[in-house]
Amino acid sequence: MTILITGATGLIGTALTKHLLDQGHVIHFLTTRKEKIIKEKDHKGFYWNPTSGEIDVLAFEAVDCIINLVGATIAKRWTPAYKKIILESRTKTAALIHASLKKIDHRVKHFVCASGISIYPNAINTIYTETSTEVASNFLAQVVVAWEAAADQFTALGISVVKIRTGVVFDAKEGAFPKLAQPIKMGVPSAVGSGSQWISWIHRDDIVAIYAFAAINGLTGVYNAVAPAPIQNIALTTLVAGAYKVPMWAPNVPAFVLKLLLGEMAILVLEGQKVSVSKFEKKGFNFSYPTIESALVNLTKK
């Protein structure tokens, strides 16, 4: 297949590109950074500037499937101006792709769109499945609702759509895991807030395999993408401390301190959702890292 990836230079996109190239697919990607553009036979970059509406439509040539990973990081202070960037880097980008496809002859049949489990409300005792209808009343959930609505627009073009509600991606070098592990490695293993909040995590290799699986098998609808064994913050802190041979001694970081330090984005560490991935499992997807113990062996190795 020829697959166009947006956000291909990011944490998931870089590894997904390699995975799909290794499987023999042709990869096109759209990037806002001209210096990232490469032109190889099976791997070609194209420029876009979603803010100004500029896009190189040659990116769509012979493309069967689009994997849409673009989005400004949420791990940066949520000022009003930056919140607009978080939202529009997901909605305006999808709208630009949509408007471009309307204007050209193309053969795109499938749109695989990143989404987030942060659509679900913070809860301790609820297990969320794709049929859950509860939507959190916070900024992140508003973003997810708008993001999925932008993805759904592609069905009007005769393109099938799948939305991958991605959990917290754990990678040894980038993203949430090194941030969580850093104070523990420095000898301060503190859970945060009550410590009971759920973390529905997924190893980077598994999320990459999930996006490839969704694209190659033409999945449609909504799928949660998390490891089968979510974990609570205190239990994760204890296991990571154990992996680094650091004794648990430090008190939890109080919620009010994190709210003072991080403002509204403190919900990223103080809140969480327990999310089911049984829909993917029933489709026959097998995890390389189904448990946090198996993932930690990989994530904490020197």
Ligand X SMILES: NC(=O)c1ccc[n+]([C@@H]2O[C@H](COP(=O)([O-])OP(=O)(O)OC[C@H]3O[C@@H](n4cnc5c(N)ncnc54)[C@H](OP(=O)(O)O)[C@@H]3O)[C@@H](O)[C@H]2O)c1
- Residue 21 or residue 250: which is nearer to ligand X going by CB? 21
Q: Does 73 bind ligand X (CB under 6 A)?
A: yes
Name which of residues 87 to 146 contact ligand X (CB under 6 A): 89, 93, 114, 116
Structure tokens at 240: 């990571």
The kind and range of the H/E element at 222 are strand 221-225
DSSP 192: B
Cβ 116 to ligand X shortest distance, Å = 4
Q: Does 166 bind ligand X (CB under 6 A)?
A: yes
Residue choice 27, 168, 184, 191 for contact with ligand X (CB under 6 A) = 168
Residue 143 · residue 97 · CB < 8 Å: no
What is the rounded distance in angstroms from the CA atom of residue 137 to the CA atom of residue 67? 28
Q: Does 21 bind ligand X (CB under 6 A)?
A: no
Q: Does 32 bind ligand X (CB under 6 A)?
A: yes
What is the rounded distance in angstroms from the CA atom of residue 140 to the CA atom of residue 61? 34
> Which region, judged by CB under 6 A, interacts with ligand X, from 52-60, 165-173, 237-245, 271-279?
165-173
Residue choice 70, 112, 240, 299 for contact with ligand X (CB under 6 A) = 70
Ramachandran angles phi, psi of 74, nearest 5°: -95, -5
DSSP 293: H
Ramachandran angles phi, psi of 3, nearest 5°: -120, 130
Cβ 126 to ligand X shortest distance, Å = 19
Neighbours of 132 (CB within 10 A): 18
Residue choice 11, 209, 210, 215 for contact with ligand X (CB under 6 A) = 11
What is the rounded distance in angstroms from the CA atom of residue 273 to the CA atom of residue 206? 19
Residue choice 18, 23, 36, 62 for contact with ligand X (CB under 6 A) = 36
What is the rounded distance in angstroms from the CA atom of residue 96 to the CA atom of residue 102? 10
Residue choice 12, 66, 96, 258 for contact with ligand X (CB under 6 A) = 12
Number of residues in contact with ligand X, rule: CB under 6 A?
Answer: 26
- Residue 132 or residue 166: which is nearer to ligand X going by CB? 166
The kind and range of the H/E element at 221 are strand 221-225
DSSP-assigned letters across all residues of 93-141:
HHHHHHHHHHHS-----EEEEEEEGGGSPP-SS-EE-TT-----SSHHH
> Which region, judged by CB under 6 A, interacts with ligand X, from 63-71, 96-104, 192-200, 250-258?
63-71
Q: CA distances (Å), 128 to each of 160, 235, 243, 272, in order?
A: 24, 20, 29, 11
Residue choice 3, 150, 151, 169 for contact with ligand X (CB under 6 A) = 169
Residue 128 · residue 276 · CB < 8 Å: yes
Cβ 201 to ligand X shortest distance, Å = 8
Q: Does 59 bind ligand X (CB under 6 A)?
A: no
Q: Does 173 bind ligand X (CB under 6 A)?
A: no
Residue choice 3, 5, 10, 177 for contact with ligand X (CB under 6 A) = 10
Q: Does 17 bind ligand X (CB under 6 A)?
A: no
> Which region, judged by CB under 6 A, interacts with ligand X, from 27-35, 56-64, 95-103, 180-188?
27-35
Judged by the rule CB under 6 A, the positions of this chain that interact with ligand X are 7, 9-13, 31-33, 36, 50, 69-73, 85, 89, 93, 114, 116, 166, 168-169, 175-176
